[in-house]
Structure 1
Amino acid sequence: MPVKTPHTPTTSKKRTLRTAPRRRPGRRVVAAAVAVLTGAALLTVDAVARQLGEERFADRIAARQGGRLADPEVVIEGYPFLLGAARGAHPEVRVTADAETRDGIPVKAAVDLHEVSERSDGYAAASVDAAFTAPFDSLGAGGGQNVRLSDAGDGRLRIEAGVLGMPVVVTAELRLDAGTVTLHADSAAVGDRPIDPAAPIIDRALSKRSRQLPPLPMGLKPTDVSVGPDGVTAHAHAQDVDLA
């Protein structure tokens, strides 16, 4: 009987797998560094351009006001600045400065210019909101009396004076009527004794302290008057303002 030769299985040829070459980590680091440096450079250029634009705007505002503004500070809103500058438009420009009225009263001016556009001869704003704050000590002077003004709270003005050696304290509401600020007493006392705030002597004293607001720049029209810790503030608004 013939002997069967045992079957020996054939060994299959091994496949050689090719793997993609690994990316060098150094390339990713370099790419990230380049991106960071590029972004930082753009931010720096934008910041420098914004500063130059704000200084240019401040110089123009100061020149327009004929020296009545001392070193105005300008903040131009909108990012990136260069995009707004290329379009010749900024959503908002805020100006703050120490100023002085024509009759010599010092004020703190805060002006918000909305939708500012650049023109060949200067700038224009779609609207302007402004607040001019006069400190109490500049308003209390005059009249030949020692008068002290301060904030009474709730938008009221506290008036302290001496009459015939007696201290008089009046709190009053400020109202704006056709550009004139008037005072209307809601409490009064002589010494420690309350008196009628509607008394003729109080009414006459307050009527002497009514003030006509001086002409405001940029065609601003007064809209309100308020009292706060820093003094008395006149609020104003204007539309379509030419800032050339």
Structure 2
Amino acid sequence: MVLGLVAGGALVADTVARDRTEEQVAADLRTQLGGLDTEPDVAIGGFPFLTQVLAGELTSVQVTAPSIQIEQVTLQDVAVDLGGVSTGTPTTAREALLTAHLPLDEVRGAIELPVDLEIVDGSLRAATTALGLPFEAVLAPRAAGRGIEVAVEAISLGGATISLDQAPGGLADDVQGLTIPVQGLPEGLQITDVTLTGDGFDLTAEGQDLVLDQAATG
């Protein structure tokens, strides 16, 4: 019975310490990351918690937030999974995985583009007018480290399909070299996957050996 009471007390102490740490981390993130409107949800994985602290590394930390502004754009449905998070200073993570949604409206509102971007029937399309005729390019987004690059799949002028080298003026360069920057991600995180959705892009970013103190401050 005595051993049971001691074990139960240790479990309560471990849970309380974990809960308080999660609350403190959430408050710190709200302060350090100016783009957060509310405190994020923080969940520290692994058991027991205090043993991880004594060992100097947390097995996993999950951070989720409805949105966060990073420079010109706001990411939605943000989730970050950190593995091997140090408890000392500087705070580091051996690995990190971020998923988020970038609405196309955010891109339009923050970045000046030479064409109008739309998502039509599940395809990303760039549209403008050339020689008095409607010009449209069907684009395929792809991950490009700190941004989203697009590859031209097809173009048309006045409803007729043409090749890229037949595009009038500088339109070929405008659509072929189009890149949507996603600046402001923590240093060391690189976008590794982009999926087109009904109203924007679902992003995945990955990184290793991140210094989180630096990421939080700039």
Alignment partner, residue 101 of structure 2 = 133
- Give distance in 1, aligned partners of 2:104 and 2:55: 43
Q: Compute the displacement of 1:115 (Å).
A: 0.6
Q: Compute the displacement of 1:200 (Å).
A: 2.2
Q: Compute the displacement of 1:186 (Å).
A: 1.4
Which residues of 2 match residues 173-184 of structure 1 at below 5 A? 173-177=140-144, 179-184=146-151
TM-score (norm 1): 0.63
Higher relative contact order (CA 8 A, sep 6+): 2
Gap regions ≥5 residues in structure 1: 1-30
Count of aligned residue pairs for this structure pair: 202
Alignment partner, residue 87 of structure 2 = 118
Q: Compute the displacement of 1:118 (Å).
A: 0.5
- Determine which structure has more spread, i.e. the larger CA radius of gyration: 1
Q: Which amino acid aligns with 1:236?
A: A
Change (3 A) 1:125 1:144: closer
Instruction: Decide whether the 8 Å contact of 1:77 with 1:92 is kept in 2.
Output: yes
- Give distance in 2, aligned partners of 1:173 and 1:86: 48
Alignment partner, residue 216 of structure 2 = none
Alignment partner, residue 200 of structure 1 = 167
Q: Deviations over 1:150-169 (max 9, x none)?
A: 682xxxx4226464897766
Q: Deviations over 1:41-89 (max 9, x none)?
A: 6665544433222111222333333x12332221211123343334342
Instruction: Decide whether the 8 Å contact of 2:195 with 2:201 is kept in 1.
Output: yes
Alignment partner, residue 211 of structure 1 = 180
Change (3 A) 1:185 1:49: same
Alignment partner, residue 24 of structure 1 = none
Alignment partner, residue 148 of structure 1 = 118
Instruction: Decide whether the 8 Å contact of 1:167 with 1:190 is kept in 2.
Output: yes
- The question of 1:239 aligning with 2:208 is answered yes
Q: Which amino acid aligns with 2:32?
A: R
Gap regions ≥5 residues in structure 2: 214-218
- Give distance in 1, aligned partners of 2:120 and 2:6: 54
- Give distance in 1, aligned partners of 2:149 and 2:189: 17
Change (3 A) 1:91 1:182: same
- The question of 1:172 aligning with 2:139 is answered yes
- Give distance in 2, aligned partners of 1:145 and 1:200: 14
SS at match of 2:183: coil
Alignment partner, residue 55 of structure 2 = 87
Q: Which amino acid aligns with 1:136?
A: L
